[in-house]
Chains A and B, each alone.
Chain A
């Protein structure tokens, strides 16, 4: 299935194929009505991103120093952990070794927003229209645990998974929280950031840090701090409300975020050095 060629025609076929899947409560439609690069995922100095050059055609592209880029047409919402890549396709979540294309795991059903830290994977079940359950699953043993639930009026954001921790956001209209909890066991999650007037969304974890986007008024800001606490750094700001920062990824030296224009539906990746 791995193709290193351009991202083109098969996506249109996949788009047509996924329509009955949505009707059956399977994976959601792929997002290729937009243009640009979005939803970054980082691991060390490797970076995966959903890239759409032409409406109707797109996929996930993985780049890492010293390696040839790998393209996965018809895929979106990547999560990266060294040489393993998880992504969404019309059948659900697929985990592959991106350097060879070998399939490592396959999870079917209405699953979205994967995050990967082998052998753990986190995803949102049934959250295509808001709400849903955040689950973590051990891909070797098959053990599964529900980390958080949200009603239809709330949004469980794209989770992050690193070093035994899972981070996610809950946006429920009157409150917005960023939470971090342990992947294993029954330990309680704790609130990293919260607001009753703004929005804290889309965290990423790496190197003991947490990166997220904070919307206050018409300004969205890319924030970084240590998971265990400490001062908050602002890496980038953008004045909206039509242009916002959205999903994030944290590499070993650089922080990434999607810059999203809700009016023109164009997405762009920005990056900032967070460690020299």
Chain B
């Protein structure tokens, strides 16, 4: 029997494995893992590998202050849903908003007015160099519309969990798909998705409710 002051050996092993898996998932993609295996194999036979491509950092997988991944409240390594900004902030209906202040933006990350027209900080129409107004761009839901077009998979927002971030309640949501590969490029996890679906990417809503 282990003493009550010291954690059991199984717990230590579990914790070590969990930390290692976090590190691996945050720092590598499947491609970089395979590149490492290939480098070992080539080294064994004395061959020179081709120059490796730099690993693509998946948004939302880097460990940040507080022990989160990518953004406050995110506890696992699935990457962020495709967004015009680094942070996948959406409004309550799943449409993109600017992470800094929650103002609505179109799919290109431009501030928009109530008619969906791109505007500048003062609310004036954005103009092309020739003086004509810039055209409207689509504003579509990150999970239900942008993910299917960019990754050719079905996707729906399902699971949600809540954390206290910056003094307000943050709702984190799973974008769930039948795909067995997540946005990171490796195997997807079950997470909070309903049976038959797995987590493809994650996003969040800042509710404004103090905590």
Contact = CB atoms under 8 A, between A and B. Distances in A.
Interface of A: 28-31, 33-34, 36, 38-39, 50, 76-77, 112, 127-130, 153-155, 157, 171-176, 195-199, 201, 215-218, 240-241, 244, 246-247, 258, 260, 262-263, 265, 267
A38 B128 CA distance: 10
A171 B83 CA distance: 20
A132 to B, nearest CB: 10
Nearest to A124: B132
Contacts of A197: 107, 138, 140, 145-146, 149-150
A260 B140 contact: no
B132 A217 contact: no
B128 A215 contact: no
A260 B145 CA distance: 28
Given A34-B129, A174-B138, A241-B108, 17 more contacts: A31-B127, A76-B130, A77-B130, A129-B132, A130-B135, A153-B115, A153-B136, A173-B137, A176-B138, A196-B149, A197-B138, A197-B145, A197-B146, A217-B108, A240-B109, A246-B128, A247-B128
Contacts of A217: 82-84, 107-109
B164 interface: no
B116 interface: yes
Interface residues of B, number: 31
B133 interface: yes
B14 interface: no
Nearest to A156: B135
Interface string B116-139: 100010000011111111111111
Contacts of A154: 135
28 contacts: A28-B132, A30-B131, A31-B128, A31-B130, A50-B130, A76-B130, A112-B132, A128-B132, A129-B132, A173-B116, A173-B139, A174-B138, A174-B140, A196-B140, A197-B140, A197-B149, A197-B150, A198-B108, A198-B137, A199-B137, A217-B84, A217-B108, A218-B84, A246-B129, A247-B128, A258-B129, A262-B134, A265-B129
B126 A262 contact: yes
A156 to B, nearest CB: 9
A106 to B, nearest CB: 20
A259 to B, nearest CB: 10
A267 B129 contact: yes
B135 to A, nearest CB: 3
A260 B132 contact: no
B97 to A, nearest CB: 13
A240 B106 CA distance: 13
A130 B128 CA distance: 12
A27 B129 CA distance: 16
Contacts of B135: 130, 154-155, 157, 171, 176, 199, 201
A128 B139 CA distance: 23
A56 B145 CA distance: 43
B136 A155 contact: yes
A267 B125 CA distance: 17
A185 to B, nearest CB: 29
Contacts of B182: none
A1 to B, nearest CB: 21
